[in-house]
Amino acid sequence: GSLGVAISEALEETVSHPGTKYSLGSVLNHVLMHQTIVGLETKKQMAQIDEYPDVLIGCVGGGSNFAGFTFPFIHDKLKGKEIDVIAVEPTATPTLTKGPHRYDFGDVAGLTPMLKMYTLGHNFIPPKIHAGGLRYHGMAPLVSQMCKTGLIRAEAYHQIAAFEAGRDFARTQGFIPAPETNHAIAAVIAEAKRCRETKQEKVIVFNFSGHGLIDLSAYDEFLAGKLQDYEYPKEKIEEAISQLPQVEK
């Protein structure tokens, strides 16, 4: 299944029962704005130690976690502040790195309003990777627009590299990240290594979006060498794109 399937199921339940109400969220503006409490708190924490990030990194699936963390800093970037904002996604669900910026439905059944976003097609059924929160075909319209205009940039990582980063983090910091969060940590480590090679000093801040205590079976598979990398095939992306709604600009 996917988050897109879950949304369709919720909408079907709602329209089938008059007493049921459903608040569509996750990728929509009101949810992203509510989540900015995370970024606002981060700014205050940085101010307490007289620092400001040169690089912001967050994992991204639908966009609410990433937007909540980064949008308060995007406000500064629009005013001229130099800051590199990186959205990190799985290679198995490469919405920002390989999808087109088109109108599409937010769910598999096509029951939601259409949204202008980066998408792999609403019929997309993601492969069985362990980062369940990142297995969504689309991207929040506001995050999509910021990527389109260059305010943020996107990177994609294989799940084995992400779990390697999570393992190293757990060994050094003493607590276990969620598989989704591991993608951000992988990008943090890569950025830190680049800084070491170029002899640059940067303040790198990332959002530790969740713990991995309910994902220990995934870590078991990783440590046993049973995990496999997956890169979503180009031909499947092209097929999904061909089925997108045709909307006049």
Q: Report yes or no on 248 lying in a domain.
A: no
Distance between CA atoms of residues 28 and 115, nearest Å: 9
Q: Are strands 101-105 and 153-157 parallel, antiparallel or unpaired?
A: unpaired
The conformation of residue 177, written as its DSSP 8-state character, comes to: B
Please state the length of the chain: 249
Q: Which of 125, 90, 130, 126 is nearest to 226 (CA)?
A: 130
Domain of residue 54 covers 3-242
Q: Using one digit for the tens of pLDDT, what is the confidence trace for 180-221?
A: 999 999 999 999 999 999 999 999 999 999 999 999 999 999
**CATH code for the domain of 44:** 3.40.50.1100
Q: Report yes or no on 249 lying in a domain.
A: no
Do residues 54 and 83 lie in contact, with contact meaning Cβ atoms separated by under 8 Å? yes
Mean pLDDT, residues 116-128: 86
Distance between CA atoms of residues 247 and 103, nearest Å: 7
Q: Report yes or no on 150 lying in a domain.
A: yes
Q: Which of 86, 118, 26, 89 is nearest to 232 (CA)?
A: 89
Q: Report yes or no on 213 lying in a domain.
A: yes
Q: Which of 121, 102, 67, 104 is nearest to 232 (CA)?
A: 121
- Characterize 205-226 residue by residue with b for buried, 16 or more Cβ atoms within 10 angstroms of its Cβ, and e for exposed: bbbbbbebeebeebbeebeeee
Q: Report yes or no on 247 lying in a domain.
A: no
Helix (H) or strand (E) holding 117: strand 114-118
Distance between CA atoms of residues 43 and 83, nearest Å: 13
Q: Which of helix, strand or coil describes residue 83?
A: coil
What is the pLDDT at residue 189?
A: 98
**Number of compact structural domains in the chain:** 1
Is the Cα torsion angle 133, 139, 142, 148 positive or negative in sign? positive
What is the pLDDT at residue 248?
A: 65
The conformation of residue 54, written as its DSSP 8-state character, comes to: S
Do residues 120 and 232 lie in contact, with contact meaning Cβ atoms separated by under 8 Å? yes
Mean pLDDT, residues 6-11: 82
Mean pLDDT, residues 210-233: 92
Q: Using one digit for the tens of pLDDT, what is the confidence trace for 18-45?
A: 898 888 777 888 999 999 999 999 999 9
Q: Are strands 101-105 and 114-118 parallel, antiparallel or unpaired?
A: antiparallel
Do residues 120 and 242 lie in contact, with contact meaning Cβ atoms separated by under 8 Å? no
Q: Report yes or no on 84 lying in a domain.
A: yes
Q: Report yes or no on 174 lying in a domain.
A: yes
> Which tokens go with 9?
């199921």
Q: Report yes or no on 166 lying in a domain.
A: yes
pTM for this predicted structure: 0.92
Q: Using one digit for the tens of pLDDT, what is the confidence trace for 46-55?
A: 999 999 999 9
> Which tokens go with 12?
């079907």
Distance between CA atoms of residues 142 and 5, nearest Å: 22
Distance between CA atoms of residues 53 and 85, nearest Å: 10
Q: Using one digit for the tens of pLDDT, what is the confidence trace for 154-181?
A: 999 999 999 999 999 999 999 999 999 9
Q: Using one digit for the tens of pLDDT, what is the confidence trace for 54-111?
A: 999 999 999 999 999 999 999 999 999 999 999 999 999 999 999 999 999 988 888 8
Confidence of residue 129 (pLDDT cuts 50, 70, 90): low
